[in-house]
Amino acid sequence: MDVDLRKLRYFVAVAEELHFGRAAARLHIAQPVLSRQIRALEHELQAELFVRDRRSTALTEAGSQLLADAYPLLDSAEALRRRVRQAAHGRATFTIAFMPGIIVTAEARALAERHPDLAVGVVRTSWNEQVEVVRDGRADVSYVRLPVDQRGVRLLPLFSEPRVVVLPGEHRLAGRASVGLAELVEERLLQDPEAVPEWRDLPHRPTEPDPRPRPQLNSVEEKLEHVAAYGGVVILPLSTAAFYTRPDVVHVLVDDLRPNQVCLAWAESNRSPLVREFVDLAERRARATETSPPAPGE
């Protein structure tokens, strides 16, 4: 049985909204049409995907499984569409994505020198999209910082680096050479705790719960603005903190945090010889630097 990608996109919209009316508006289709398409998909899969009543919509176990599998499948289809469109227009391109603080100049230059007719581009990513860009075809490869969702991608470990806490310049710990994670137990972590799994294991005992919601921060610059304004602290890889220097914040080594692992990621479905060639370039570069990251600006 072939899965209809249009029905799958409709399903994802309903699964994310958990409301047929909102999903229909998001998809710009009539709600009865959406309901028929979901029923048809359930019939094709021989599984109930939603539990519905007049008040709520919830995923069944089968629906939850389909949602988990739908994302990489739809991303792979989008990546295929992008690659075919580029080939149809005769555009030979290769895009390298990277997380803040990671320098990709040497590898990009080496690939461009090998292929003078190839347009080599770069794009900076964020924590939430660093793997998504290779799944959906916006980038051919991506330099990522673990942990990441590894579904549908392959990873090549490149190097690791220490992690630091970024503090306001006048913070009580600002003059220290290093700190332990437990010394930060009273601090307000500004970023998603998933980015610092060790933080969840701390015995947090603030004297009074912080009523402020965690801000939506989409860039390093936004994080540093909040830190400088005494809004909290962030944990960053050393190269990121060193790259984004400013006079009103400091970074201090957290000596009991595991190093941050940097990997090269690419989609399992991307069979381009250029990807394989770039993987080899990145691997040789990592060996040449003896698992140490290049200094910012190199």
Please give the average per-residue pLDDT across 226-240, as a whole number. Answer: 93
Whole-model pTM: value is 0.69
Q: What is the pLDDT of residue 72?
A: 80
Q: Where are the domains of the chain?
A: 5-73, 92-160+260-288, 163-203+216-254
Q: Do domains 92-160+260-288 and 163-203+216-254 have the same CATH topology?
A: yes
CATH of 5-73 among 3.40.50.150, 2.40.50.140, 3.40.50.2000, 1.10.10.10? 1.10.10.10
Domain 92-160+260-288 has CATH 3.40.50.720: no
Q: What is the pLDDT of residue 106?
A: 93
Q: Tell me the per-residue pLDDT of 134-170, one tens digit each, with 9 for 90 and over.
A: 998 899 999 999 989 898 899 999 999 999 999 999 9
Pairing assessment for the beta strands 234-237 and 163-168 based on DSSP bridges: antiparallel
Q: Is 81 or 6 the better-scoring residue by pLDDT?
A: 6
Average confidence score pLDDT of the chain = 87
Please give the average per-residue pLDDT across 174-197, as a whole number. Answer: 89
Q: What is the pLDDT of residue 298?
A: 46
Q: Say if CB 143 and CB 262 are below 8 A apart.
A: yes
Domain 163-203+216-254 has CATH 3.40.190.10: yes
pLDDT at 296 > cutoff 80: no
Please give the average per-residue pLDDT across 159-187, as a whole number. Answer: 93
Q: Tell me the per-residue pLDDT of 260-293, one tens digit each, with 9 for 90 and over.
A: 999 999 998 888 899 999 999 999 999 887 645 4
Task: Report the chain's terminal Cα–Cα distance, integer Å.
Answer: 52
Q: Tell me the per-residue pLDDT of 203-215, one tens digit each, with 9 for 90 and over.
A: 765 555 566 777 8
Share of the chain above pLDDT 90, in %: 58
Q: What is the pLDDT of residue 2?
A: 73
Q: Tell me the per-residue pLDDT of 32-83, one tens digit each, with 9 for 90 and over.
A: 999 999 999 999 899 999 998 878 899 999 999 999 888 888 877 777 776 6
Q: What is the pLDDT of residue 226?
A: 93
Share of the chain above pLDDT 70, in %: 91
